[in-house]
Structure 1
Amino acid sequence: MTKLTIVYYSTYGTAHAMASRLAETAEKQGAEVRLRRARETAPDDVVQGQEAWAAHLEATKDIEVATPDDLEWADAVIMGSGTRYGHVTSQLQSFIDTLGPLWQKGGLADKVYAAFTSSSTKHGGQETTLLAMITTFAHFGGIIVPPGYTDALKFDDGNPYGVGKVVDDGGLNETDTNALDHLVTRVLSIAGRLGS
């Protein structure tokens, strides 16, 4: 049984919906899954000053906060974050910054890694955000498993680096769920082959 950790940060809920879909699909395929959120690091008055942000934080308060142990435990890791100026959110980066001791002892190496992101606009920094996470995975000594164009459905979402979602009020659409399902299936397949 492949052990998969999904670590994400979500301000308003899109990355949470994406992470939840990945977890659901992985569990249906027999994986043992840890779904974890990055700790909120924004000042409380800033969070509470935006109704949707505060509501999402409250709605997801029971999801465990990610720790380095969650990555040490895993055979495969998928990280996700909304874009911030073409990069990952500071909240996810803060989690990544706690991984130094685990990295030093080699505890992040030789695992399968992949990434997902979302942005408010079509050219809102999705590719650079995914590439930033991929760069981090390379520093870990990770086995990076992008979706590439390994299935015709990737021509619909068009992102070979991971999964990217342009946020709209409709939630995840069929293109999004197909791309997420393909990503996690590919991650589990490669992790399974490496583990056998």
Structure 2
Amino acid sequence: MSNVNLAIIYYSSTGTNYQLSKWAEEGGKEAGAEVKVLKVPELAPQAAIDSNPGWKAHVEATKDVPVVSLDDLEWADAIIFSVPTRFGNMPGQMKQFLDTTGGLWFNGKLANKAVSAMSSAQNPHGGQEATILALYNTMYHWGSIIVPPGYTDPVTFAAGGNPYGTSVTVGQDGKIVEDVEAAVKHQAKRTVTFAEYIKKGNQ
């Protein structure tokens, strides 16, 4: 049984990154971690949400998912982020949350946490890798330990072979094109494992 606390923090408008987060939750639990799935606050105006039936339906379906707090970051030994790409960068909703972490960073509360990330876009070259790397920029400042999946298991190739973090494309029907469930679970288990290494090393 792991003694790792894993926070999976996501932003999702129509459900793709929520699904990735739920698979990561399963992988984390299989690795023995205590897991929280948490969403960042929605910043879009209600009119924009209402104009997209899929967005509106997803917001309603996930209304009971807890909103992440700074206390959750401090609680976590490992953190997995999952976001769609916005012009090769993270969505404003995630950036706004990360920009509130200055106090924790200043006090060294985010150092040595195992961190990994996932992303999605509507086409194969839609900025998924750039988005994950943009997320990691913040974690370098935190002093966290980046845990990419690399090519450490054959499932990463079946999922498209992104070494930075599992990423997907989404078809016009709103469904994930690739079969990435196993890759996401591997990434989550790997992140939990490295968090265990870090905790043992700090004892």
Partner of residue 94, structure 2: 92
Structure 2 contact 84–119 (Cα < 8 Å) conserved? yes
Describe how 1:28-177 pairs up with structure 2 within 5 A: 28-156=30-158, 157-168=160-171, 169=173, 171=175, 175-177=179-181
> Which of 174, 179, 188 pairs up with 2:183?
179
Structure 1 residue 28, shift from structure 2 partner? 2.5
Q: Please list every run of 5 or more consecutive structure 2 residues that lacks an aligned counterpart in the other structure.
A: none
TM-score by length of 2: 0.92
Look up the equivalent residue of 1:142 and give its one-letter code: S
Q: Are 1:17 and 1:172, in contact at CA under 8 Å, matched by a contact in 2? A: no
Unpaired runs of 5+ residues, structure 1, are none
Helix, strand or coil at the partner of 2:100: helix
Please state whether the residue corresponding to 1:84 is helix, strand or coil.
coil
Q: Structure 1 residues 92-101 or 110-119, which shifts more? A: 92-101
Give, in whole Å, the separation in 2 of the partners of 1:35 and 1:127: 23
> What do residues 42-98 of structure 1 show as CA deviations (whole Å, max 9, x unaligned)?
111111111111110010010000111111000000011000000001111111111
User: How far has the Cα of 1:29 moved from its partner?
Assistant: 2.3
Q: Which shifted more, 19-28 or 66-75?
A: 19-28
Is the Cα contact below 8 Å between 1:18 and 1:172 reproduced in 2?
no
SS in 2 for 1:135: helix
Whether contact under 8 Å (2:26, 2:185) holds in the other structure is: no
Q: CA RMSD in A?
A: 1.4
Q: Kindly provide the amino acid, as one letter, of the partner of residue 183 in structure 1.
A: Q
| Separation of aligned partners in 2, 1:3 and 1:153 | 25
